[in-house]
Amino acid sequence: MFVIICAALVACVVLTIGPPIFRYFQDLKGFRKYPSQNPLSGFTNFAYGMEKWRSHRYFQTERLHHQLLKHPVVRLGPNWLSFRSSQAVKDIYGYTSQCSKGPLYDALQGGGQNLVLISDRGLHSSRRKMVASAYAPKQIEKWEPMVAETTSILVSKMDALCTTPLITGTTGVPCKEDLTFDGNWWALLYCFEGATKIGLSKDLGFIAQGSDLIQIQHPDGKVEKVNLIECARGGASAASTLVYDTPNFPTFIKLSKLISPWYAGNWAKGAKWRAAVEYITKERIERQDNGEVLDDLLGPMIEDPKTGAEADINVADRYSEVEQIVNGGGDGPGISLTNTLYYLIKNPETMTRLRAELDEVLAPEDVVAPWSKLKNLSYLRACVDESMRLSPPIATNLTRRTPPNRPSKIADEVVPPNTVVSISAYTAHRDPEIFPDPEAFKPERWLMKGDDRLRNMLAVYIAFSAGSRACIGRNVTILMQFVYLATLITRYEFALPNPDWEMKWRDYFNLWPEELPLKIWRRERQASA
């Protein structure tokens, strides 16, 4: 019996690792000529997820970028190539690209499909048409009061956290007790609350309570308190390390729960996140059924606004869309606000120029900056764009698959059919031919006129993705970011823990800042005449 068991185990090992080794040396597509991200990249996509576990001074996407500075193409998996040249943006994600989303997005669906995860082009097009009018720029006037309300509560909280001014001429190092404001945490609370107000007509109350705690009720009647942001990020952290080996992802989930407390805890958080999403979705539908007139992003996915008929979307997909409204509208913009404020504080000349632009249009009585005075401010927009260029919230490689029936040309490389291809926003935004001095925070680069440089930059700028898959919620995030930044920058002064303090990020699906500890105090402005 012992011999049989041993033979069975050996057979399992051979059958598991044998085929990848055989395919690697068979090399039907000729990919062995490309350098690999790590020694296992030629054998399994799991190698890409493994990179997220590494303890290193550089985060994963940054390490890959350093490799791409030496090699124009790097192999990330047996059938997966990552590119350096920003030309790959147009070839992979552009309107004329024939590349499509593949198994990674299907694996992440969890039973429901949303605009980000839908791989079928026809379904994506019909879903986008369903909700397009709800996201249109004309809706900003409707959203603004909700954002202003959240901003007003934030101002009252920040006023209470203000300290005495930093004394001019000192070392510029505030005492630890004066670091009362975590710019990262409050930006996340702000954006999750704003996105949920706009998306589901629900006030989470995050800013007022200073936490991400909400109370939900399960179908069995059990009431539970859930840390919404923590749970959303917990599930994403676990998935981002395992999902790239898509055929084995379900097995990896089961095994990781059994052998790792970290995975078990994060999968449990992910389950609580999905339970919270289901609860707030049902709550929103019940309010409408009870006669409330609600006008929000979810509305067209409940009832056709033109005919009054039930929307053509199943329950699982509706939950999935709410996940994207709340998490996509909260996490990405929150990251961007944290990064932008950080870069402005680290670059005082840029902060001074932005304040001058804001002071020209905002009166001291404008406690919350109104959108009407912000929407045409070119330097404010340039600061946001430059922050998202330098530290894109979604920095990782967004995969696409080349057509199955013919080779494709990606950044001057002829790529075989049915190959997974990608370029990270982090690398695309650092092409020195498009963005001179790419590691510098220079909002002025977005104000250039009179030549093709601005057009070339916009063509490869993928902070909101690109082509037909570009982020539909762009107008929501721009509104929240402009109002938040303009309000805070005109009202407060900021100091980092010390002049040499540097931001640190964690790289999962999104590039998460770890913290932004700040000393804040009221800025002196002259009252209007």
Tens of pLDDT, residue by residue over 243-302, are 999 999 999 999 999 999 999 999 999 999 999 999 999 999 999 999 999 999 999 999
HSE-up of 156 (CA within 13 Å, CB side)?
A: 9
Tens of pLDDT, residue by residue over 424-461, are 999 999 999 999 999 999 999 999 887 789 999 999 99
Q: Could you tell me which of 287, 341, 323, 283 has the C-alpha nearest to residue 486? A: 341
- C-alpha torsion sign, points 89, 91, 97, 99: negative
Bin 334: left if φ > 0, else alpha if -120 < ψ < 50, else beta: alpha
Within 8 A by CB and 6+ apart from 258, the residues are 264
pLDDT at 429: 97
Report the alpha-carbon distance of residue 281 to residue 323 in Å, rounded: 9
pLDDT at 182: 98
pLDDT at 511: 95
CATH topology classification for 2-163+181-522: Cytochrome p450 (1.10.630)
By the 8 A CB rule, do 246 and 103 touch? yes
- C-alpha torsion sign, points 234, 238, 240, 243: negative
pLDDT at 55: 76
Pairing of strands 181-182, 80-83: unpaired
pLDDT at 171: 66
pLDDT at 164: 94
User: Which stretches of the chain score pLDDT less than 70?
Assistant: 1-17, 22, 26, 168-171, 526-529
Query: What is the DSSP-derived secondary structure letter of residue 465?
Result: B
Neighbours of 239 (CB within 10 A): 22
Within 8 A by CB and 6+ apart from 139, the residues are 475
Q: Could you tell me which of 477, 442, 454, 449 has the C-alpha nearest to residue 353? A: 442
pLDDT at 15: 43
pLDDT at 1: 53
Pairing of strands 420-422, 80-83: parallel
The annotation status of 471 as a binding-site residue, yes or no, is yes
Global model pTM greater than 0.75: yes
